[in-house]
């Protein structure tokens, strides 16, 4: 299985202390807190947020 860096994600649900996001590339759903940990090194989260509308 390829390792996906989840360059583009969308928020599925947002709760008090949990936020679930879905990767638009691989379709994986995960806690955004985990994603933040992954994204810090890649610094890709800001890029994703600035994606074109
Ligand atoms: Zn992914």
Reported as a single tens digit per residue, the pLDDT across 15-36 is 888 889 999 999 999 888 876 6
pLDDT score, position 32? 83
32 CA → ligand 1 middle, Å: 12
pTM score > 0.75 for this model? Answer: no
53 CA → ligand 1 middle, Å: 20
35 CA → ligand 1 middle, Å: 10
Q: Which residues contact 51 (CB under 8 A, 6 or more apart)?
A: 8
Task: Tell me phi and psi for residue 47, to 5 degrees.
Answer: -60, -40
10 CA → ligand 1 middle, Å: 11
């Amino acid at each position: 299985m390829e390792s996906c860096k989840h360059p583009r994600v969308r928020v599925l649900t947002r709760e008090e202390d949990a936020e679930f996001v879905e990767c638009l590339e691989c379709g994986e759903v995960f806690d955004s807190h985990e994603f933040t940990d992954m994204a810090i090194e890649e610094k890709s989260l800001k890029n994703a947020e600035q994606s074109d509308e």
